Amino acid sequence: MPQKGKKTKKNEGDILKVNSKSKWDFLLRILAVIIAILIWFWVVGFETQVTKKKFVSIQVQVDKQSLIEMESKYGYTIIVDKEVYIDVTLEGKSSDLNKVKPSDIYAYLDLKNVSQAGEISLPIEIKEMDFVKVCDQSQSSTILYIDVKTSKTIPVEAIIVQMVTESNIDIGELKISPDSVVVYGPKGVLDALDHALVNISLGSESINRPTKVTEKFILINENEEEIKNQYVTTREITAITVEIPVTIKKEVPLLANYRYGYYNDKNTNIQIIPEKIEIRGVPEDINSIESIYLKDTIDEKKYESDTAITSSIVLPEGVEILNGEATAQIEIKFIDPATKFVRISTRTNSNFNVIPPQNAEYHIKEDSIRVKMLGPSENLRKINSFAISVSVDLSAYEKGTHSDVPVDVFAISEDAVFCVGEYTVNAEIY
């Protein structure tokens, strides 16, 4: 049994363990205090440190109040409202920079000093913010087109800059559709506009028929110079349709129409003045025309001596005369003309023919008719009543008495001699 008052080995070990634990706890406490102090110094230093931060794609706005003032004072407006974005770098404490959002940055254009139209360079300003400041921006200015926005109607013109045609081909007046365009844009530019121009190039192939093309156009000023301006527009109209009339020329003879066909080279000399005319029209029409007939039909029974007749020239639709008037003169000259009266019996002459009425009898009241024949004197001497044929057509007449029934008279064997004047008979149908 151990003695009282003396330390044993076991007690000594326990005492050493307690002292070691106390020292370790003390050291840990000191270390924790040191770490806390370091963290405090680090936080305080970071939060108060002056640094920079970049914000990208900040949209530049137009100051609305300055825009309203400019519009009311000068009538100006922004011709093209384009979007502008810049990058902005701010400087300040980290704690303050961390509070800034891109929407807090207000970049704007101030129009209060704008007093003239045109392309105006304006500074990009950034509104001041609390606790931070702008130290850099990717773009310091931008250009706006300032003017009165208006419109103007200008005519459209077209010219052919390249075309190959045959010698007998003519190009008519160009047909343009639409023949005017409305142009929109700044007044300063539109005031100088004169017309829109279509340049037509038809290549190297020969053109021989009407052609239609659709082409873009350019804007021309009063000095015949092209205007290129990105702020000018014609909106939905970007091209013009141009019809190119192609016509062909041709010389054709004039001919006369005759009612009975009595005239020939044995009894008459006929001259049409002019003999030929030059006509023009689309190839499809002109190529099918070999001659042109005059309007009036010549009634050979009306004329017994030389005469001249003026008649209109009748042209097909779409065809025109290139030279001269739209009339011609027919000159009729008889060859050795003579006249002779011949009496023809309605009873005994076998050459007196009647086409009878349907289902009825008839009676010609005249015993004979006296006709006048015209022709060269030598040919006329051979003519007697049996060399002349007379025809009366009663097939369309009803029962009753009919006066002035027409009679057709012509020479049978002598084509140089013919009847002049009109003849009738009275007929009774029963």
Same fold, 157-244 and 337-429: yes
Fold annotation for 157-244: RNA Polymerase Alpha Subunit; Chain A, domain 2 (2.170.120)
Q: Which residues of 134-149 are buried (b: 16+ CB within 10 A; e: fewer)?
A: beebeeeeeebbbbbb
Q: Is the pLDDT of residue 147 over 60?
A: yes
Contact in structure between 337 and 305 (CB atoms under 8 Å): yes
String of DSSP letters for 291-347: -EEEEEEE-GGG-SS-EEEEEEBP--TT-EESSS-SEEEEEEEESSEEEEEEEEESS
> How many angstroms separate the CA atoms of 292 and 255, rounded?
6
Report the CATH number of the 50-147 domain: 2.170.120.30
In the chain, domain spans: 50-147, 157-244, 249-334, 337-429
> How many angstroms separate the CA atoms of 148 and 79, rounded?
8
Strand 107-109 to strand 50-62: parallel, antiparallel, or no bridges (unpaired)? parallel
Residue 220: its H or E element: strand 218-221
- Dig out the tokens for 350 from the structure: 């076998």
Q: pLDDT for 326-349, tens place per residue?
A: 899 999 999 999 999 999 999 988
Residues β-bridged to residue 162: 201
CATH class of 337-429: mainly beta
Correct CATH for 249-334 of 2.170.120.40, 1.10.10.10, 2.40.40.20, 1.20.58.740: 2.170.120.40
pLDDT value of residue 46:
53
- Specify the pTM: 0.56
Q: pLDDT for 243-288, tens place per residue?
A: 998 888 889 999 999 999 999 999 999 999 999 999 988 888 888 8
The label of the residue with tokens 């005059």 reads 294
Give Cα separations from 111 to 67, 68, 71, 77, 116 (angstroms).
Answer: 6, 9, 10, 10, 11
